[in-house]
Amino acid sequence: MLKTEGISYSIGRKQILDDINISFQPGEFTMILGPNGSGKSTFLKIFSGEIHHYKGAVYYNGIAITNFRKEELARKRAVLSQHADLGFPLSVAEVIMMGRYPHFTFSPNKKDISICEDVIEQMDLIDFRERNYLTLSGGEKQRVQFARILAQIWEKPAEGNRYLFLDEPLNSLDLNYQQSFLKLSAAFSKAGTVLVAIMHDINLALKYATRILFMKEGRLVYETEPAGVTPPMIKNIFNVDATIIRPSNDLPPVVIYQ
């Protein structure tokens, strides 16, 4: 499990995050929502280990993040960031193999190669394997990056959990891949992964998340299960009037905006 204690962070005089205490359990699919500039990405970068010099502490399974070596952490924690991109020609298979970098020293072994094959198949990328990454469309690039992240933590570590953090994973994806990304992520979380995603679409959050966090102005405002999201919450966080329709059958609730 992942736990943050009293996380505060500021740049100059601007307070970006203010005293965030929360824990994430394996098996939960937590989604963080909030307006632009509410500190979601900064919070994710802090508990991913990318930003240092903050106040407070982050624990992975009870061990402070500062006690991990970077490579050790990279073997069980993968992050899909918003700006992953390349300036040089590399094949799709080569980009995905980068996900295995924390696991081998010089050359990939048989297991690394077979994991990449599995991921390529799972992500529907077989026809793209030898394509130059630079020639792909935005959505295709996002799929390759996601495949790279999954390859990084494809198998369970000998001890402890896996951690998967996604910062706006659905950027430039079509409807079909939005759904399949979230389904695949949910399957990962059920298999014992601590899963946190930053999202913008409340309806997708209501359908796939098991827990929703709302952030505003660097503070954690609400923590709720999807059924507990109400129009006043949405009004308070986003300043948008909304109605929530709850179908009587098994379908998830739907938010419509006024």
Which spans of this chain sit near other proteins (rule: CB under 8 A)? Answer: 45, 48-50, 69-75, 77-79, 81, 83-91, 94-95, 98-99, 101-102, 105-106, 132, 134, 152
Closest C-alpha among 227, 177, 230 to residue 207: 227
Minimum gap (Å) between residue 141 Cβ and other proteins: 11
Minimum gap (Å) between residue 88 Cβ and other proteins: 4
Amino acid occupying residue 50: E
Question: Residue 168, Cα to own-chain centre: how many angstroms?
Answer: 7
Smaller CB distance to other proteins: residue 62 or 87? 87
> What are the φ/ψ torsions at residue 43 (nearest 5 degrees)?
-60, -45
Smaller CB distance to other proteins: residue 120 or 206? 120
Minimum gap (Å) between residue 169 Cβ and other proteins: 14
Minimum gap (Å) between residue 17 Cβ and other proteins: 18
Minimum gap (Å) between residue 159 Cβ and other proteins: 18
Smaller CB distance to other proteins: residue 17 or 166? 166
Minimum gap (Å) between residue 256 Cβ and other proteins: 36
- Judge whether 185 and 149 are in contact, CB under 8 Å: no
Smaller CB distance to other proteins: residue 134 or 191? 134
Q: Which two tokens stand for residue 198?
A: 């930053």
Q: Which two tokens stand for residue 213?
A: 């966090």
Smaller CB distance to other proteins: residue 88 or 239? 88
3-state DSSP of 30-94? EEEECCCCCCHHHHHHHHHCCCCCCEEEEEECCEEHHHCCHHHHHCCEEEECCCCCCCCCCEHHH
Smaller CB distance to other proteins: residue 10 or 210? 10
- Judge whether 34 and 223 are in contact, CB under 8 Å: no
Smaller CB distance to other proteins: residue 81 or 161? 81
Residue linked to tokens 């490579």: 71
Minimum gap (Å) between residue 251 Cβ and other proteins: 36
Tell me the helix, strand and coil percentages in the chain, rounded to 5.
40, 30, 35
Q: Distance between CA 30 and CA 108 in Å, rounded? A: 33
